[in-house]
Amino acid sequence: MIRSSLSRSWAHASVGLAAVLAACSGDGTATSSGTGAGGNGGAGTGNPIGGSTSVTTGSGGLGEPPPAFEVTGIVVDEDGNPVADAFVLQGGKSHEPPLSTAADGSFTITLTYPGFGIPGVVAAKQGYRAAGEEFPFDAPDGPVTLVLDRVEDADNTGYEWLDPGEGYDRSTAFCGHCHEVFTEEWNISGHRHAAENHKLQDLYAGVSEHDAASCAAAGGQLKQGLTPGDRTTAVMKCYVGGGVLPDLNPSCGGPAQLSCDDPALPAANAPTSFGACADCHAPGIEGAAGGRSLHDATGFGFEDGVFCDVCHKVSDIDLTLPPGVGGRLILRRPTEPSQAITSDFKPLYFGPLLDVPNAFMGAAYQPDFKEAHFCAGCHQQKQAALIPGDALDPARWPDGLDVHSTYEEWLAGPYAASGTPCQFCHMPAHYDMNNTIGTSSPDNASITAGYPRPPEDIRSHRFLAPLDTYGDAPRLIDTALFTSVGVSLNGGEVEATVSLSNIGCGHALPTGEPMRALVLRVTAEGTG
């Protein structure tokens, strides 16, 4: 006789380092003790903004900056107004506590020359694009002015999403032009295939993969419907009498009705309610964010699912709102017109690093990228009854059915208590890269080529799932489960007890959709 037990008990997390708070090549940003007005090395040191820039250590040779030098300056917005409490740091030292500007925007910082690359000062603040200035040959002659370009508090629905590419591309219009490794990793991730997933598409339209005979045997009907990812091409599909679209829209999808995704469906019978599937699975649909039909996803909005430009347009997270874009994931697509001929709007990308002042990126600091609640933008959801007029049992599901409970599971476990976010496991550190740009090296360290970074600041964009492989590392499932087997002889029978315990997973196992299951297969062989 074989007995099995599945345990969801929490593992005792042994990873509580501050480094695990980094994600997407981000790092911690704790302000120095006493920074700001009167702070340590900050603008409040008493140096007036009109003070001179002075060399503090050495003198440096001709064409070479001194080993260390002091820079004073001011941080202002595009209108010339001082920006208080902006972070100021030397480029490439985002792992060190930054300084803060005083109320008048002033700062004083000592830069060191590491012997390679170009030293520079960078300023950043949430709600602004970062700015920086380099000093390739000598310390500046006087105070410097760093201009932070404010991010407009609006989302531009006329913005056209940018194609990530599939790896290195000679055109700078693709993310892979610079971020080759990240793009290649993302390209084989579940995020990339989030919209084109055939199970998702079948559940949405209410179809199943059957030929005519098996469709009839299953009680379904062959009808015309859209080809996923194509708003014009129709094919015959087996409709099984349920699905997101037919459940939400009684005007279509019934036994005597056209399917809800039939291109020939009259406008009077067309769906008006589309559910929330696209809000997380296809966030890159052009136009307004939220409440869109999954069938609106075409082009790379369908083929690429959750892609670079979408994630890095998230300006904020609000967990009081419904999941996805148009809800918790607050998008800020740029509205400010560009003066460059290559783009209609100023570039804008949110991310967790302070020191990315490359104007081509338009990088805006957003520390939420390295926190677990960023993932809760989609990986936490309570669903009300889908069919109009139906209701869930309020005693059992007072807040809705737990369609996704991964974030709450993590929040209740030891990984949250130790400060270990989702990104630590699902976006592991890169130990084989200089920074997030594939062609970067210490020798060309600069605003353009980026700065050398520790591995915890360079996070994989593979977005590892339990069964995914990543180099020589074991799969996440292999380190999460502990299997024990006990065997005893009982009245001439061999009794085996098999137990599975969650010892290395930061949430319940399995997690995610209720349809997921952990299957235990046990075999017994006789040898005598």
SS3 per residue for 104-167: CCEEEEEEECCCCCCCEEEEECCCEECEEEECCCCCCCCCEEEEEEECCCCCCCCCCCCCCCCC
Residue 6: what pLDDT? 35
How far, in Å, CA of 248 to CA of 274, rounded? Answer: 7
Q: Which amino acid is at 23?
A: A
Strands 87-90 and 99-100: antiparallel
Q: State the pLDDT at residue 16.
A: 30
Backbone angles phi, psi at 153, to 5 degrees: -85, 65
pLDDT of residue 329: 99
159 and 333 in contact (C-beta within 8 Å)?
A: yes
Burial-class residue 418 by CB neighbours within 10 Å (0-12, 13-18, 19+): middle
Q: What is the mean pLDDT of each run of 10 residues along the chain (528 residues)?
A: 37 31 35 35 32 36 71 98 98 93 98 88 98 91 97 96 80 86 95 96 91 89 95 93 93 95 96 96 97 96 97 98 98 92 88 95 97 98 86 90 93 96 97 88 89 93 94 92 92 90 94 87 80
Q: 233: how many CB neighbours lie within 10 A of its CB?
A: 10
Q: Tell whether the torsion through CA atoms of 101, 107, 112 and 114 is positive or negative.
A: positive
pLDDT for residue 305: 98
Measured between alpha carbons, how far is residue 134 from residues 90, 111, 358, 390 in Å?
A: 10, 11, 11, 63
Q: What pLDDT is stored for residue 30 in this prediction?
A: 35
Q: Give the model's pLDDT for residue 65.
A: 60
Residue corresponding to tokens 């460059």: 340
With beta carbons less than 8 A apart as the criterion, state whether 501 and 508 touch.
no
**In which element (H, E) is residue 184 found?**
helix 180-187
Mean pLDDT of the chain: 86
Q: Which two tokens stand for residue 26?
A: 């981000």
pLDDT of residue 252: 97
Report the percentage of the chain scoring pLDDT > 90: 66
CB within 8 Å of 185: residues ≥ 6 apart: 460, 461, 462
Which DSSP category does 411 fall into? H
Retrieve residue 3's tokens: 């007995």
pLDDT tens sequence across 449-469: 899 999 999 999 999 999 999
Closest residue by Cα to residue 56 from 135, 109, 104: 109
Question: Rounded to whole angstroms, how far apart are CA atoms 404 and 426?
Answer: 17
Q: Tell me how far the alpha carbon of residue 426 is from its chain's centroid.
A: 11
Phi first, then psi, for residue 361 (nearest 5°) are -85, -35
Contact 96, 41 (CB under 8 A): no
Looking at residue 309, its pLDDT comes to 97
Task: Give the pairing of strands 2-7 and 99-100.
Answer: unpaired
Angstrom distance (rounded) from CA 289 to CA 154: 12
Smallest CA-to-CA distance from 248 within 288, 203, 218 is with 203
Question: Both tokens of residue 447?
Answer: 């605003």
CA distance linking residue 434 with residue 442, whole number of Å: 7
Q: Which two structure tokens, joined as six digits, stand for 273?
A: 């309610």
The string of DSSP letters for 253-282 reads SSTTS--TT-TT--GGGS-----SHHHHH-
| pLDDT on residue 22 | 34
Could you give the CA distance from residue 87 to residue 365 in angstroms, rounded to a whole number?
10
How far apart, in whole angstroms, are the C-alpha atoms of residue 500 and residue 6?
5
DSSP H or E segment with residue 423 = helix 422-426
> pTM here?
0.84
DSSP class of 23: -
